[in-house]
A and B are shown apart, each in its own frame.
Chain A
Amino acid sequence: MIEYIIKIKRKTKNIFQDRWVWKMAWRDGRHNFSRLSLFMAALVTGIAAIVAISSLNYSFQNELDRNAKELLGADFVINGNKKFDSAWKEFLDSAKVKVAKDADMASMVLFMNSGNSRLVKVTGLQGEFPFYGKMVTRPTDAYLKTQIGDYIMLDELLAVQFNVKVGDSIKVGTKKFLMAGVVTKIPGGGAITATIAPAIYISLSALDSTGLIQYGSRVGYSIYVKTKDEQETKSLLTKVRPLAKRLGNSIETVERRKEGLGRTFRGIYQFFSLLAFIALILGCIGVASSVHIYAREKRDEVAMLRCVGSSGWQAFNIYFIQVFVLGIAGSLVGALLGVGIHQLIPIVFKDYLPGNIQFALSWRAIAEGVLTGAIVSTLFTILPLVSVRFVPPLTVLRSDFLPGKIFSRTRLAAIILIVLFPILAAAYQTKSVISGATFSAGIAVALGCLVLVASGLLFLIRRFFPSKASFIFRHALSNLFRPNNQTRMLMVSIGLGAFIISVLNIIQHSLLNQVEFKGNSNQSNTILFDIQSSQKNGVVDLVKKHNLPLNQVVPIVTCRINKLKGKTIEEIRKDTIRISDGLLTREYRVTYRDSLIRSEELAKGKLQRYSSGKTDSIFVTVSEDIGERLLLKVGDSVEFDVQGVPMKTIIGGVRKVDWPKDPPNFIFVFPPKALADAPQIWVVATKIEDQQAAKFQKELVTSFPNVSLIDLRLVLSTVNELFERISLVVRFLAFFSIITGLIVLAGAVINSKFVRIKENVLLRTVGARTSQIVKITLIEYGYLGLFSSLTAMILSIGGGWLLTKFFFEVQFAVNYGELLLISLGVVVLTAFIGWFNSRDVINTSPLQALRKES
């Protein structure tokens, strides 16, 4: 015989040139469409979350770029906490720039129409503020009225809350004002702070006449400056900065405001991105897991194709095209859903967002979402599909034939890219590789812990299998260990969603527990502040008259730090050891006493009494947290500037302070007498029941107009409400993860359909009734839900404890009832999805099944 051809001249075509693979992908896919769609549905939720979060980010960034100057209302602002030095007037006059001024402080106001009072931010305005953007009022002349007479404007929400209308009287301090209108929009207006302390607006000169500004009042003063152009801003700022430093003022520029807002938002954005990304990764793992089973089922067909001449790549491409096309479709659907969610954000958060953010469609976010979907569906399907390339044609003769381990460069590349992808994607979003790596490490740790706990639980179930339980319970449990059942994967996927929701619940409960008043009958819920020494006895009498407890009556002295351990602030700033500038230059409100209160315990040192006459023996105590940040320990010296008088002190002790408990609490506590002669104001802490509140507040505002009252219950309910809204988003994203898990579950149920039909046929043949098979199915998925939620609970209690202890630094508190409810929800939902997708299997008659088999 002549070997007439030695080498094959085989034409190879790539995926785009080979029409046959596209044709085969369609032919094969049309019969697996519902199943493949389910795999890809797992991508939808993750992509939707990513597009929604990303769109929100772009909306916010656009807003920052579009209205950068409107955020401030001026080119720059000079801030201070006391009246401005005359040097500023001289400087600004000579610079010939336009200026506007404001001063704000917290105070009580009395609504004369109803007799109600409320702590508000009183803002005195003067000049043409704002220079950029618009202050929108209703009626439009309201602002003008405040500048020429005793008129007042209110934040819209406040006016609605207290039913105040134009012409109504409002008492601020000792002066009455007439309501001129409401402010619906003001540059720089922070919607969230406005909810806690809504603002009222009067003229700056009127503020002086209210009698509110007294010794110890915390007033913030600002000068808004408008320049001709950017050039002038830059040149002015070079002169303004040294002057501000010399006079103890701070400067805020448009860029700085933008940066600050951007930074805050970035933190929130990154957190939500993490949740969205986890949902996506979970979906991808679900897809990979399902495609793995799909590829395995296709072995015989691939082997046949190989027999009749298909190359390994051609066989691979057939299935790759199917999952890739559906991946793109899933991404598009996800992107659309994400856009929908983005459009819902202003509706859900309407009270907490600055009114002027435009929630426009972000094509960039959509493109990024679809691209992300395309990349992940490629990466995560290549890995399980690679095996298709190596299906030996011999399988048609021997179905159990397994080739040895085959090294595949494609598989290796896919693994490397899967590891790199989250890092690169996160680095793209955060513009930092380190953040990207941390982000990915976070995901890996979270998933790793879940896998570990899920594996541990499964191990324990096998180890302590209830062999004496009834047949139905035993059989349902052993079904979880059916080959290809993806039980661990499902536990991780469903468990993750439940974990996020539970951790959130624990954090919320722990935080609120800190300021909850129900459990502690004596804890103060109302703080009266800005009480002048001359008013102290009067306020105390008023509290007593209303039969309220006097929990604390404490003096407050304001001071600053001059020197730490013998070094001046300037010297410390030059040091390599970093101490926050804010801590070095801030004004400290300190008190004096010789005992600890309920919220304190002495961590180090001791409480020492003041020996008069020795100026170097004033032993003060410092709170542990701030002490650490100021690098102070027992025995270190601190020199304070008490109203212009230098006072040398020594750290005598360190107090551990439970800040939210029994307010007010202090960073520095002096011994009695050391500050007895210093100018001081007083704070009274008491507990007021709901029914007493209005009457007491009214009398307080009438008798002591400058004294303010913080109703901690109001703060609590506002914080709680805000938390609820944030929780809504987190829960929503966590729910995405659960939905992903349930989609993966539905996929797994469908994947195992034939195995389960066989099992059921066997059971029916030996006499099982339909009701028994239904019970087995329900219990099997009930178990799955139970173990998923158990995984979630174990981790959420651990994770919640870590977060509350080290991040939020609050006492760990769990509402087990609510956690049980979450678990129950997961069990019911999982059992339902499992049963719903198994109806076919349950209702298939043995004969039908046998026919299908043959």
Chain B
Amino acid sequence: MPEVVLQAEQLTKTYSSADKKLTVLDQVSFQAEQGTSLSIIGPSGSGKTTLLGLCAGLDVPTSGSVSLMGFKLNAMSEDDRAYVRNQFVGFVFQNFQLLSTLTALENVMVPLELRGEKNISARAKELLSRVGLTDRLQHYPSQLSGGEQQRVAIARAFIASPKILFADEPTGNLDEENAKQITDLIFEMNRQEKTTLVLVTHNLELAQKTERILQMKGGHLIQDSRVQIKNQI
């Protein structure tokens, strides 16, 4: 049986405003196995991004728990969660989130540099070559097109050989042609690296490329299509 990489249990996230509480995620549970892909879809405000943030350890739930590669994220300090992210997680965001003051090559190297690894530029160059940016190594983000920036982001996401890749609307800021190329790239690299893919999107066509679709509405998980996996503890 494939190993469970991510397990969310009864995840609830509530925000308090002046006089009321707003529950943006309510008792959501699911799990993801090694090498599988799933997408989270739903209308705006349904809780997709909140769910992704909690699963990736970018935030902590009000109640419930998240286990990522066996680590109980909500019991950890922020710096410990950062360590877990560095070791096991890759990210691709809608607005690329490249460091503007670093070249494409430097951006890609950052996760491994943080691990303290040496001689990493060869690996970074190889990844940039795989995403088709061999001649753009020393370019800064502002000198790259949107599609190129997202390729750099994908290379950065895969350089640390993550166990799980979280992608938040990865094609949301791209034109149709670039969107297709980026989609292909993510899925191809995901297959090659045997990474678990968690994708948040509005785009049903894109979502259908994953093995599972979790449909969110009003903070609830209303449908988990294709294979329902039984929770295992």
Contacts and interface: CB of A to CB of B under 8 A. Distances in A.
B101 A304 contact: no
Interface string A1-34: 1111110101100000000100100011011100
A281 to B, nearest CB: 31
A394 B59 contact: yes
A300 interface: yes
A712 B168 CA distance: 86
A8 B49 contact: no
Q: Which 3 A-B pairs have the closest CB atoms?
A: A309-B86, A1-B4, A311-B79
B80 A309 contact: no
B113 A8 contact: no
B91 A3 contact: no
B58 A397 contact: yes
Interface in A277-314: 300-301, 303-314
B58 A32 contact: no
Contacts of B106: 27
A10 B79 CA distance: 9
B3 A1 contact: yes
Given A309-B86, A392-B58, A28 B97 contact: no
Nearest to A301: B99
Contacts of A3: 67, 70-72
B85 A309 contact: yes
Contact of A31 (B3, B67, B91, B101): B101
A645 to B, nearest CB: 90
B180 interface: no
Count chain B CB atoms within 10 A of each CB in A305, A393, A398, A852 and give the residue with the most: A393
A650 interface: no
Given A1-B3, A1-B232, A394-B58, A20 B97 contact: no
Contacts of B3: 1
Interface string B1-12: 001100100000
Contacts of B83: 8, 10, 309, 311
A427 interface: no
Interface in B73-92: 76, 78-80, 82-87, 91
A397 B70 contact: no
A392 B160 CA distance: 22
B172 to A, nearest CB: 12
A512 interface: no
Contacts of A300: 97
Interface string B171-215: 000000000000000000000000000000000000000000000
Contacts of A30: 101
Interface in A359-393: 392-393
B30 to A, nearest CB: 13
A393 B168 CA distance: 14
A829 interface: no
A311 B53 contact: no
A397 B57 CA distance: 12
A199 B58 CA distance: 83
Interface in B87-132: 87, 91, 93, 97-102, 106, 110-111, 113-116
B152 to A, nearest CB: 12
Contacts of B28: none
B82 A8 contact: no
Contacts of A27: 101-102, 106
Contact of A10 (B31, B69, B80, B101): B80
Contacts, number: 108
Contacts of B116: 11, 20
B70 A1 contact: yes
14 contacts: A11-B116, A27-B102, A28-B102, A30-B101, A307-B91, A307-B97, A308-B156, A310-B82, A310-B114, A392-B59, A393-B57, A394-B59, A396-B93, A852-B142
A397 B67 contact: no
Nearest to A2: B70
A20 B114 contact: yes
A312 B78 contact: yes
Nearest to A300: B97
Interface of B: 3-4, 7, 31, 49, 52-53, 56-59, 67, 69-72, 76, 78-80, 82-87, 91, 93, 97-102, 106, 110-111, 113-116, 142, 156, 160, 168, 232-233
Contacts of B156: 308
Interface string A237-256: 00000000000000000000
Interface residues of A, number: 37
Contacts of B101: 27-28, 30-32, 301
Interface of A: 1-6, 8, 10-11, 20, 23, 27-28, 30-32, 300-301, 303-314, 392-394, 396-398, 852
A309 B52 contact: no
B178 to A, nearest CB: 14
B82 A309 contact: yes
Given A308-B156, A393-B57, 20 more contacts: A1-B232, A5-B69, A6-B72, A10-B80, A20-B116, A27-B102, A28-B102, A30-B101, A305-B110, A307-B56, A308-B91, A309-B87, A309-B111, A309-B114, A311-B83, A392-B59, A392-B78, A393-B78, A397-B52, A397-B53
A8 B71 contact: yes
Count chain A CB atoms within 10 A of each CB in B57, B70, B98, B156 and give the residue with the most: B70
Contacts of B67: 1, 3
A580 to B, nearest CB: 66
Given A2-B70, A3-B72, A30-B101, A307 B58 contact: yes
A237 B209 CA distance: 105
Given A392-B59, A394-B58, A307 B85 contact: yes
Contact of A304 (B84, B99, B142): B99
Contacts of B76: 8
A5 to B, nearest CB: 6
Nearest to B82: A309
A308 B58 contact: no
A311 B80 CA distance: 8
A397 B168 contact: yes
Given A20-B116, A393-B58, A5 B71 contact: yes
Nearest to B71: A5
B82 A393 contact: yes
A575 to B, nearest CB: 69
Contact of A312 (B69, B79, B86): B79
Nearest to A308: B111
A8 B84 contact: yes
Contacts of B70: 1-5
Count chain B CB atoms within 10 A of each CB in A1, A4, A312 and give the residue with the most: A1
A702 to B, nearest CB: 85
A827 B114 CA distance: 50
B170 to A, nearest CB: 13
Contacts of B142: 852
